[in-house]
């Protein structure tokens, strides 16, 4: 499925995905779909823009995703709405799955999800009976310790209703950053080579050993979220990390439990940072390598629906920067493994020949057609790529059958308690991107939203604490605290708070927990316990925020003589 | 980060009956401290000098007072520096004022009056003249007086309102947006 | 008739691209070259988000504008289908802000201009339908979901005529059932 | 003023919008960005697409643009000193080589980048970690 098809779905189940803030151009398709009569079911604890225009808003309690998904599956089966023919012909493991979902009646799920049983029934019926039905999910699914289970749970819904392999159906993760899909495609993953080829499969390893001319490790590598632990607490000497080559990332801002990340970067023997702007990680780097930015170099990105598209040079870099690929090639050459490429196309050609799913996606085709959705296996101009991954219900498994996979719900790791009675979930700010070294340096985007950001709280909670819009508040968790502005809104439930993660002063990752999903190793950004405190002396707080901002900007090499606007 | 602007009091001619309770209250609260104003009739020794003006016109009446303009003509006109912005409000320093009347001419609302200056219950005189010292008097939103503007508090018909312009604007925005929901079929 | 820009809450996703578009149009493209603190960021439309509503609100360019009536210095006038503020004449008395029932007017800092006591000068700020710029209102142009439209006399007139015709047809059908 | 038009993919988010830029090649500056008719964006852009290229002008708002390689010559917490590319590259190669020698390849961690760098740079990064260093310790912020 692709982004343009969203608007032609009969039903959209939008799960933990807030397109309006993370991808306005995807949200546009949802809005257009609504205009065309698409039924929208939105599962989100907040009233998001999609929830606002939805037919059914499943305003579930944070952290109850799987209970809801299993309950929907339960209704679909028990009310005879499942596509038995599709299940028989294209899937396996359905009976085992049934055993798991048996107990998840809507009545069982109601106290867990805080959604009335009847509403769950209604949603399940609409999803199962309106064709074609599409599922979009986002970080509201992925950033929990029970992430992969929910993704599989959503896939179960699509499988049991036969919503796979055609236009405007299936299940789509909407990737956050411009090239998350691309970094995965290219094998920047501890368990796979480019093109999702597993490092533990001997034949595949041999292919890459032959192509690259060296023996390769058969051990799955370290996931990025394990790094602080592997630097600070690893007992086994062989596994301890001593050098960290950070390329285009800012773990000292974006990773959970920042205090631990800072300690790790400080203790790590050798930290290399390769980036375009100074950032928090740079304060701990032993070496800084300046790279050219988007707009100053050539290349290819992969967008959320697997489309390879060209990025082109707009202006010449002003300064002594080099393209990322060139810096890496130079280091490799200096270390005795020569890499000689004239341009990005040469690298690309080497890569596609090693990846069967990408082999046909040549620069020529991407130029000519404006983009190519992989898999694209053949170099002839006739193979224009693949809009639908599991076309006609044929899946990428050995017997071409999809596997049902059922698991039980379990609650989030850190629950509300007396000391920290509220919950914190981290979300996105529409005008800012990632750690904001790019958007924060754009004049007008900075004007729209700036430090110290906002904490979204229910109006009643604010009234209880006598908090007004724009007032500075302190927000604390077991791990740390930060200062931010209060934004009373009826779009969030009482007891819940939401913060966006790109601020330095309102840095919500001071609060978040580093507990991970056991399979995807994604942190539970969407749930931790917190407490909000009123600050009596607002004048002091405003001054304090301003001073903090100036301090950090000065650290980042900005002349703050003219004073920052906080 | 918040765009802060000055508040002001505004009258409503549809409710005002012209009873002048506002004027009297204004005078009273402003003179309680410096002029030891008594609480009973007959103890007032200084002229009754309110800072808002009950104004009659062809169709009715209403009090007129300072708007605390954001590019205040009175402030800009004052060469003596007697008018300044304190906490977003436009405030006259009576001690500094020399009574040049430039501010009165600059104000498009007629919200300023030249009034005798009294201290400790007595009019203040001046050298080389038998006339008492005067000053440009205008609404100061009852700065430092508990309970906020006295005129608003005493009006028996609720014809006066203290406006927090930005907060009211946001509320009106919301009402306008809600109205859009009703009119969306305009095409 | 005056024209106006209208937001559709069914299409709006609250992203505020319109607000930046407004500022860039009025400040001019040099905004991306100047000192980041040397211009004033004052969008002339305001994003409203309530529990079940997101939509920008802006001036309706009323035919009998309350703002124009209360302005003591004649700074608000009607020009080619829109109501505009002369910021040179405006002295920031907020009467218009108080008078406008939509909350479409706010006070904005005039960068680089100060009052006699050195404090920042603020004047009234509201939608001018991008008066004098080519391409029509910037907010309409940049909105990613086409949630904003410019309503002109012709469009409103046509719509009214269409609605009247439909109402008449419906009334006729009600009394003359089709065989 | 010599103007040229270049179409490219937006630097933000996974929607993959196409933008048409007008560039003043003499001044080496972007003049205008308008939505192009891409497969996913069909002639529309959000606020980041419309106005998010301004950071290329380096307006000195938040952080400083990195323009020269730098090394902390006096160890952690010492000031960063600007050096030549040759020195930076050979220093990194030497230190990584020493650590690999002493603690083994799995003691080195590298990241890919889900942001501006592009697919080719990510391919080279993982190839570098796997073929040159000899570890599968490479990951990126998809999890974050």
Question: pLDDT averaged over chain A?
Answer: 88
Quote the number of domains for chain C.
1
Is residue B184 very low, low, confident or very high in pLDDT (cuts 50, 70, 90)? low
Using a CB–CB cutoff of 8 Å, tell me whether B2 touches chain C.
no
Substitution target in B74, B172, B175, B183 with the highest count of C β-carbons within 10 Å is B172
Q: Which of C37, C41, C49 sits opposite A562 (nearest CB)?
A: C37
Q: Which of D60, D61, D144 sits opposite A255 (nearest CB)?
A: D144
Closest residue by Cα to residue A442 from A431, A434, A451, A429: A431
Which range of residues forms the domain containing residue D86?
A: 70-143
Is residue B141 very low, low, confident or very high in pLDDT (cuts 50, 70, 90)? very high
Choice between A316 and A561, residue whose per-residue pLDDT is larger: A316
Using a CB–CB cutoff of 8 Å, tell me whether B171 touches chain C.
yes
List the single range of A183-187, A533-537, D84-88 with lowest mean pLDDT.
Answer: A183-187
What's the pLDDT score for residue B40? 57
Measured between beta carbons, which residues in chain B are less than 8 angstroms from residue C101? 172, 175-176
CB atoms near residue B179 (< 10 Å): 12
Measured between beta carbons, which residues in chain B are less than 8 angstroms from residue C102? 172-173, 176
CA A197 to chain centre: 22
C-alpha R_g of chain D: 20
Specify if D29 maps to a domain: yes
Residue C37: how many CA atoms within 13 Å on its side-chain side? 10
Q: How far away is chain C from the Cα of D40, in angstroms, using its nearest Cα? A: 12
Using a CB–CB cutoff of 8 Å, tell me whether C119 touches chain B.
yes
Give first-to-last CA distance, chain A, whole Å.
43
At A77, is the secondary structure helix, strand, or coil? Answer: helix
Q: What is the pLDDT of residues B3-50, one digit of tens each?
A: 489 999 999 999 999 999 999 899 888 877 666 555 555 566 666 778
Q: At residue A388, does pLDDT exceed 80?
A: no
Degrees, nearest 5: CA angle A270-A275-A280: 70
Q: What is the pLDDT of residues A265-293, one digit of tens each?
A: 998 999 999 999 988 888 899 999 999 99
pLDDT more than 70, % of chain A: 97
Q: At residue B108, does pLDDT exceed 60?
A: yes
Structure tokens at D56: 């290329």
- Angstrom CA distances, B64 to A486, B20, B50, B58, B110, stand at 37, 12, 11, 15, 8
Q: At residue A523, does pLDDT exceed 80?
A: no
Mark whether D117 and D78 lie in a shared domain: yes
What's the pLDDT score for residue B52? 92
Specify the CATH class of B8-186 in words.
alpha beta
Q: What is the pLDDT of residues A370-380, one digit of tens each?
A: 889 888 888 88
What's the mean pLDDT in C50-73?
93
d(CA A314, CA A311): 9
Mark whether D8 and D51 lie in a shared domain: yes
Question: pLDDT averaged over chain B?
Answer: 86
pTM for the whole structure: 0.87
Q: Which of C105, C109, C159 sits opposite B186 (nearest CB)?
A: C159
Q: What is the pLDDT of residues A190-208, one digit of tens each?
A: 999 998 898 889 999 999 9
To the question of domain A3-174 being in CATH 3.50.30.60, the answer is no
Neighboring chains of B (3 or more beta-carbon pairs < 8 A): A, C
Q: How far away is chain C from the Cα of A233, in angstroms, using its nearest Cα? A: 43
Mark whether D94 and D139 lie in a shared domain: yes
Using a CB–CB cutoff of 8 Å, tell me whether A560 touches chain C.
no
Measured between beta carbons, which residues in chain C are less than 8 angstroms from residue D45? 17, 142, 144
Look up residue A324 and give its DSSP letter: H
Is residue B2 very low, low, confident or very high in pLDDT (cuts 50, 70, 90)? very low
What's the pLDDT score for residue A111? 94
CATH number of the domain that D18 lies in? 2.20.25.90
Substitution target in C144, C145, C147, C148 with the highest count of D β-carbons within 10 Å is C144
d(CA D70, CA A286): 8
Q: How far away is chain A from the Cα of C145, in angstroms, using its nearest Cα? A: 5
The chain C residue lying nearest B88, using CA atoms, is C119
Q: What is the pLDDT of residues A527-553, one digit of tens each?
A: 888 999 999 999 999 999 999 998 888
Is residue A164 very low, low, confident or very high in pLDDT (cuts 50, 70, 90)? confident
Q: Which of D32, D44, D61 sits opposite C144 (nearest CB)?
A: D44
Mark whether D138 and D80 lie in a shared domain: yes
| Domain A422-555 fold | Barwin-like endoglucanases (2.40.40)
d(CA A204, CA A187): 13
- Which of A 114-153 lie inside 8 A of B, CB atoms? none
Structure tokens at D115: 């942001």
The CATH code for residues A180-382 is 3.40.50.740
What's the pLDDT score for residue B34? 62
Specify if D63 maps to a domain: no
Specify if D64 maps to a domain: no
Mark whether D98 and D43 lie in a shared domain: no
d(CA A306, CA A371): 10
d(CA D143, CA A437): 19
Structure tokens at A140: 């509201």
Measured between beta carbons, which residues in chain C are less than 8 angstroms from residue A460? none
Quote the number of domains for chain D.
2
What's the mean pLDDT in B83-105?
91
What's the pLDDT score for residue D15? 84
- Is A188 within 8 Å of D69 when comparing Cβ atoms? no
The b-or-e profile of A341-362 (16+ CB within 10 A means b, else e) is: beebbebbebbbebbebbbbbb
What's the pLDDT score for residue D141? 72
- Helical H runs in D36-84? 47-51
Sign of CA dihedral D106, D109, D110, D113: positive
Closest residue by Cα to residue A452 from A478, A423, A422, A487: A487
Domain boundary among D32, D57, D82: D57
Q: What is the pLDDT of residues A132-161, one digit of tens each?
A: 999 998 888 877 778 888 888 998 999 899
Is residue D76 very low, low, confident or very high in pLDDT (cuts 50, 70, 90)? confident
Substitution target in C54, C75, C103 with the highest count of B β-carbons within 10 Å is C103
What's the mean pLDDT in B173-181?
88
CATH number of the domain that C132 lies in? 3.30.70.20
User: Cβ distance D66 to D50 under 8 Å?
Assistant: no
Q: What is the pLDDT of residues C1-50, one digit of tens each?
A: 899 999 999 999 999 999 999 999 998 878 888 888 888 889 999 999 99
């Amino acid at each position: 499925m692709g982004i343009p098809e969203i608007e032609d779905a009969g039903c959209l189940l939008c799960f933990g995905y807030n397109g309006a803030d993370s991808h306005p151009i995807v949200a546009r398709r949802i809005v257009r779909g609504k205009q065309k009569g698409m039924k929208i079911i939105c599962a989100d604890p907040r009233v998001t823009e999609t929830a606002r225009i939805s037919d059914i808003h499943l305003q579930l309690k944070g952290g109850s995703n799987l209970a809801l998904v299993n309950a929907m599956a339960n209704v679909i089966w028990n009310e005879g709405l499942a596509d038995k023919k599709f299940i028989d012909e294209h899937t396996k493991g359905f009976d085992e799955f049934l055993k798991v979902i048996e107990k998840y009646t809507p009545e069982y799920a109601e106290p867990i999800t805080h959604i009335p049983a009847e509403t769950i029934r209604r949603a399940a019926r609409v999803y199962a009976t309106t064709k074609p039905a599409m599922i979009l999910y986002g970080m509201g699914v992925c950033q929990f310790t029970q992430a992969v289970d929910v993704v599989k749970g959503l896939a179960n819904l699509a499988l049991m209703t036969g919503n796979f392999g055609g236009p405007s159906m299936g299940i789509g993760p909407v990737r956050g950053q411009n090239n998350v899909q691309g970094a995965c495609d290219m094998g920047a993953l501890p368990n796979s080579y480019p093109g999702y080829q597993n490092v533990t499969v001997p034949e595949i390893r041999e292919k890459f050993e032959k192509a690259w001319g060296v023996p390769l490790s058969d051990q799955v590598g370290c996931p990025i979220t394990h790094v602080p632990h592997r630097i600070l607490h690893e007992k086994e000497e062989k596994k301890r990390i001593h050098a960290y080559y950070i390329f285009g990332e800012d773990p000292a801002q974006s990773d959970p439990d920042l205090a631990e990340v800072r300690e790790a970067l400080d203790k790590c023997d050798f930290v290399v940072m390769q980036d375009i702007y100074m950032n928090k990680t740079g304060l701990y780097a032993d070496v800084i390598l300046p790279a050219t930015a988007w707009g100053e170099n050539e290349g290819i990105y992969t967008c959320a629906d697997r489309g390879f598209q060209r990025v082109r040079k707009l202006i010449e870099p002003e300064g002594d920067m080099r393209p990322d690929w060139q810096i890496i090639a130079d280091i490799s050459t200096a270390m005795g493994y020569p890499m000689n490429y004239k341009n990005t196309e040469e690298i690309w050609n080497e890569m596609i020949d090693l990846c069967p799913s990408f082999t046909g996606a040549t620069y020529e085709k991407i130029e000519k057609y404006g983009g190519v959705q992989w898999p694209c296996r053949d170099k002839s101009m006739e193979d224009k790529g693949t809009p639908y991954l599991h076309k006609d219900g044929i899946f990428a498994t050995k017997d071409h059958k999809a596997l049902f996979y059922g698991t039980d719900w379990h609650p989030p790791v850190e629950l509300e308690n007396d000391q920290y009675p509220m919950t914190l979930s981290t979300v996105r700010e529409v005008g800012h991107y990632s750690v904001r070294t790019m958007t924060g340096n754009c004049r007008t985007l900075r004007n729209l939203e700036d430090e110290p950001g906002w904490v979204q709280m229910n109006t009643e909670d604010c009234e209880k604490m006598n908090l007004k819009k724009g007032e500075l508040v302190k927000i604390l968790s077991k791990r740390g605290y930060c200062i931010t502005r209060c934004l009373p809104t009826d779009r969030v439930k009482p007891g819940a708070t939401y913060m966006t993660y790109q601020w330095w002063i309102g840095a919500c990752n001071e609060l978040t927990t580093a507990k991970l999903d056991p399979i995807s190793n994604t942190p539970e950004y969407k749930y931790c316990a917190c407490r909000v405190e009123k600050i009596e002396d607002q004048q002091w707080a405003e001054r304090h925020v301003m001073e903090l901002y100036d301090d950090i900007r000065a650290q980042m090499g900005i002349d703050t003589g003219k004073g920052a606007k906080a | 980060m918040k765009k802060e602007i000055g508040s002001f009091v505004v009258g409503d001619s549809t409710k005002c009956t012209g009873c002048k309770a506002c004027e009297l209250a204004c005078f009273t609260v402003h003179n309680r401290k410096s002029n030891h104003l008594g609480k009973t009739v007959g103890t007032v020794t200084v002229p009754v000098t309110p800072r808002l003006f009950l104004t009659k016109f062809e169709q009715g009446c209403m009090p007129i007072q300072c708007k605390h303009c954001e590019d205040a003509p009175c402030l800009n006109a004052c060469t003596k520096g007697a008018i300044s912005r304190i906490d977003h409000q436009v405030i006259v320093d009576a001690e500094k004022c020399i009574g040049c009347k430039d501010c009165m001419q600059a104000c498009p609302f007629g919200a300023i009056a030249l009034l005798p200056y009294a201290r400790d219950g007595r009019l203040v005189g001046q050298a080389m003249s038998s006339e008492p010292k005067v000053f440009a008097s205008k609404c100061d939103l009852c700065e430092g007086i508990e309970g906020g503007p006295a005129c608003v508090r005493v009006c028996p018909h609720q014809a006066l309102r203290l406006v927090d312009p930005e907060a009211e604007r946001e509320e009106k925005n919301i009402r306008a947006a809600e109205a859009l929901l009703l009119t969306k079929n305009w095409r | 008739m005056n024209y106006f820009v209208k937001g559709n809450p069914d299409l709006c996703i609250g992203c505020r691209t319109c607000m930046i578009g407004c500022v860039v149009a009025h400040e001019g493209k040099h905004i991306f070259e100047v000192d980041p603190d040397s211009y004033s960021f004052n969008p002339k439309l305001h994003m409203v988000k309530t529990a079940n509503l997101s939509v920008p609100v802006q001036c309706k360019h009323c035919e009998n504008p309350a703002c124009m009536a209360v302005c003591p210095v004649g700074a608000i006038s009607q020009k080619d289908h829109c109501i505009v503020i002369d910021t040179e004449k405006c002295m920031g008395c907020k009467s218009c802000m108080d008078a406008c029932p939509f909350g479409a007017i706010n006070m904005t800092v005039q960068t680089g201009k100060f009052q006699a006591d050195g404090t920042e000068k603020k004047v009234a700020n509201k939608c001018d339908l991008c008066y004098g710029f080519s391409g029509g209102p910037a907010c309409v142009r940049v909105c990613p979901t086409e949630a904003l439209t410019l309503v002109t006399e012709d469009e409103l007139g046509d719509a009214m005529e269409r609605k009247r015709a439909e109402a008449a047809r419906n009334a006729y059908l009600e009394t003359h059932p089709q065989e | 003023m010599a103007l040229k038009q270049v179409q490219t993919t937006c630097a933000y988010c996974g929607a993959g919008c196409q933008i048409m830029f007008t560039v003043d090649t003499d001044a080496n500056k972007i003049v205008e960005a308008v939505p192009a008719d891409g497969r996913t964006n069909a002639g529309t852009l959000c606020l980041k697409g419309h106005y998010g290229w301004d950071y290329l002008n380096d307006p000195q708002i938040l952080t400083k643009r990195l323009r020269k390689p730098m090394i902390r010559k006096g160890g952690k917490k010492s000031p960063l000193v600007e050096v030549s590319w040759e020195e930076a590259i050979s220093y990194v190669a030497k230190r990584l080589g020493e650590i690999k020698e002493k603690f083994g390849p799995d003691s080195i961690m590298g990241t890919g980048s889900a942001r501006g760098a592009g697919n080719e740079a990510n391919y080279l990064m993982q190839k570098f970690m796997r073929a040159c260093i000899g570890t599968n310790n490479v990951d990126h912020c998809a999890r974050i």
